[in-house]
Structure 1
Amino acid sequence: MLLYAPAALILLVFCWRMARESRRFGNAVFLGLAALCGLAAWMYGLVTAGSTTGRVVAAALLGLGALGILVLVCLLFINGLHMVRKEGRSPSNLLSLMGALCVVGVVALVITAAVLRTPVLVGVGVAALGLACYLSFLFLSFVVYAFLYGRLRIRRKANYVVVLGSGLVGGSTVPPLLASRLLRAREVHAQLSGRGDPPVLIASGGQGPDEELPESHAMADYLTERGFPAGLIEREDRSTTTEENLRFSKAIMEKADPGYRCVIVTNNYHAFRAALTARRVGVRGQVVGSTTAAYFWPNATIREFVAVLVAYKRTNVAMCLFFVLCGILAWAAR
């Protein structure tokens, strides 16, 4: 049982951090480390047990891991092609295809290095494999924790519901992605209204260069046309990014009520990153997500993950340099 002590300890740290503040990327890392340590302990126990069954199970798990990589590549390729057909060939819509190509490239590079064993290939292979394992661990931790965060219940009363904008179609029309946020916001508003006074709904979104009116105005019109009380809607019409959405909405809420609490509504793939941003800018509130089309989710999740990596760029650049150094040392050792 001592093999599982590190995993149990890390899991306790995760639970403590989660209870104190759920809007931390470090929570995802601790959860991933706990799972990794537990899996490593289990695998070690199987291999060292001395039984044929244990070795067979360990080999089967490794085989399932290899099969999982193959399935992942196929799914990413299929999703990438579907995204191009549905949404166009913009760089942000090609992330699934790029992810599949990167996985294939790393696997091919590692196999080639293992077969040829030339110093340069070994060094590059070590660096690429280390970086791939690091990014894969962070991505899986991000996805699992984002899934858990998105299912947290709204526990506290709130006097504001903030809906984040996402752009308009044709310069004035609310697209399905934004409509899902507005409908989810309406559900949250009804839920909070059942606990006391109805909260104010803040539609947050400025006017883009290709838009005929601010997003917040189109969002407010969409709600009022469907029976939502106009007197309970506040428009924040200056923001152009998620951070500005939250900063400008925070200013509105603090001016009216310094002790405010809020619930922020966005799409499910965006909820965790929005929560990280809300914590960074000092917004007191939980983030909830609305449903997103299944074909859109993988590509959007990769985009969110990349944005989180950029937000923690110092740590990630340091880790990249570390794996490059490992590759150089492997090259020198050959």
Structure 2
Amino acid sequence: MFAYLLSALFFAFFLVGVLRDRRRFGNAVYLGLAFVALVVGLLGELDRLPGPLVTAVTVVLMLAPAVGVLVLAGALVSNGATMVRREGIRPANLLSLLAGLTIVAVVALLVTALITRSRTLIVVTGAVVLVVGYVSFLFLCFVCYAFLYERLRVRRSVDFVVVLGSGLVGGDTVPPLLAGRLDRARALFDAQAARGNQPVLITSGGQGPDENLPESHAMADYLIAGGFPAERIVREDRSRTTEENLLFSKAIMTAADPDYRCLIVTNNFHAFRAALTARRTGVRGHVIGAPTAPYFRPSATIREFVAVFLTYKVVNLGVCLLIAASGMAAWLRL
């Protein structure tokens, strides 16, 4: 019963958090804790089932995580190979491959510890598994809540639609990833116009060292070439990062209307982190994601999670160090 009450409490915190501001990572953690407490409560009900059914459920509960971990590792390694083949060998494209290999390494370490029964190795493995468990819990919270956030629609009228840049190819060409953002922004503009409201569209992106013009100019040219009204576009051409995209766009919007409301457009894998950044920078608006090629999402999602994890690095690395220190203390007592 206590586990169910705890689950209900965390779920209540989740609902209150979403109502107050859906752009909070704490909402994701509350939802994850509610689910964990619910699972613990359901596991406590096993002794009420008939004996054979208890055995069957226990076997499933033992096998499902093991099989799931191995399948996940294989899928990540396969996706990593696809990323390298299609996008080239760059650190960002290796993330899913590295994640898959890390899972394999942890499993191998666990099996070795169980076979050798070395106390030192068991303690080390226990600390590693706990750290990986903590990070995995946060990752699942991130993925699940990001999935929900993408589906929380904004129905009110807005004054601006901000499109975040993502880089040009060949120095001056809008790549498919960025074109998807611009097409999504235009669809949002058309939906607002159909309701009698025509927001200003801000293309946001400065000029990189390998680009022939500011990204925002190429973005605006892409829209205008497709028939978008040039007079409804404002170009923010100084930013180099997502945070600068939002800060410089915020300055433009505040100067035009201190009480503005906006929508921010990026790709779906980036939407939740952009929303967290928008909240941190004080931008009054929610983030809408544009579709992304399925093969690209795993590595991109891992990259986004790492960035969020490091945003709260004091807490997260502190917890990881505490776990490692506890393992060391246990080893010293052997």
TM-score if structure 2 supplies the norm length? 0.97
Structure 1 residue 64: deviation in Å? 1.3
Residue 107 of structure 1: how far off its partner (Å): 1.2
Q: Deviations over 1:11-44 (max 9, x none)?
A: 1111111111100001100001111111111122
Partner of 1:22: 22
Look up the match of 1:133. Answer: 133
For 1:98, the aligned partner's letter is L
Alignment of 1:289-308 (within 5 A): 289-308=289-308
Question: Where does residue 60 of structure 1 map in the other structure?
Answer: 60
Q: Which residue of structure 1 lines up, in the alignment, with residue 330 of structure 2?
A: 330
Q: Identify if the C-alpha distance between structure 1 residues 331 and 47 changes in structure 2 by more than 3 Å, giving closer, same or farther.
A: farther
Aligned amino acid, residue 10 of structure 1 = F
Q: Describe how 1:4-43 pairs up with structure 2 within 5 A.
A: 4-43=4-43
Q: Confirm or deny that 1:223 pairs with 2:239.
A: no
Q: d(CA) in 2 for partners of 1:319 and 1:47?
A: 34
Q: 1:215 to 1:117 in 2, by over 3 A?
A: same
Kept in 2, the 8 Å contact 1:162–1:263? The answer is: yes
Shift of 1:194: 2.4
Give the aligned partner of residue 276 of structure 2.
Answer: 276
Q: Which residue of 1 aligns with 2:250?
A: 250
Letter in 2 for 1:202: I
Aligned to 1:45: 45
Contact 2:23-2:275 at 8 Å conserved across structures: yes
The percentage of aligned residue pairs carrying the same residue is 57
Query: Structure 2: 5+ residue runs without aligned partners?
Result: none
Mapped pair 1:123 → 2:155:
no
**Counterpart Cα distance in 2 of 1:246 and 1:49:** 55
1:184-228 alpha-carbon deviations (Å, 9 max, x no partner): 000111112223320000000000000000000000000000000
Q: Secondary structure at the match of 1:161?
A: strand
1:53-104, Cα deviation, whole Å (9 max, x unpaired): 1232132122111111111011001100000000111111100110011111
Q: Does the 8 A contact of 1:181 with 1:267 survive in 2?
A: yes
1:50 and 1:325, CA in 2 relative to 1: closer, same or farther beyond 3 A?
farther
8 A contact 2:157–2:197 mirrored in 1: no
Residue 309 (structure 1) aligned with residue 309 (structure 2): yes
Aligned residue identity for 1:283: V
Partners of 2:63 and 2:291 in 1: CA distance: 34
Contact 2:168 2:215 in 1 (8 A): yes
| Alignment partner, residue 159 of structure 1 | 159
- 2:207 aligned partner: 207
Size of the aligned set, in residue pairs, is 334
Instruction: Report what 1:70 is aligned to.
Output: 70
Gap change, CA 1:88 and 1:62, over 3 Å in 2: same
Q: Runs in 1 of length 4+ with deviation above 6 angstroms?
A: none
Q: Distance in 1 between matches of 2:126 and 2:161?
A: 48
- State whether residues 47 and 55 of structure 1, in contact with CA within 8 Å, keep that contact through their aligned partners in structure 2: no
| Coordinate RMSD, CA, aligned | 1.2
Q: 1:11 is paired with a residue of what secondary structure?
A: helix
